[in-house]
Amino acid sequence: MVGWEVPIGAAIAFAAGAIGTGWAQSRIGAAGAGAIAERPETAGTIIILEAIPETLVILGFVVAAMILLMVE
């Protein structure tokens, strides 16, 4: 039987990753919108840049999953 601290730990790991991703994407999104407005040919690069912070939330998800699955 796991205690309450395990799901809380998993939630923190996932939430921190999600918040970080959200913040980074908002900044990249705003700057990217500005860049695309002036130079539409940069759209492909901007989409890739916008996706990079997703790694943060994926990492958070993996850590959360590991906490839930590996901690007995």
Least Å distance, CB 23 to another protein, is: 12
Please list, in sequence order, all residues whose beta carbon lies within 8 angstroms of the beta carbon of residue 54, skipping any fewer than 6 positions away: 21, 25
Rounded to an integer, what distance in angstroms lies between the CA atom of residue 13 and that of residue 64? 6
For another protein, which residue of 35, 49, 63, 68 counts as binding (CB under 8 A)? Answer: 35
Residue closer to another protein, measured from CB, 34 or 66: 34
Residue with tokens 């998800």: 61
Q: Does 39 bind another protein (CB under 8 A)?
A: yes
Q: Which residues bind another protein (CB under 8 A)?
A: 27-28, 30-35, 37-39
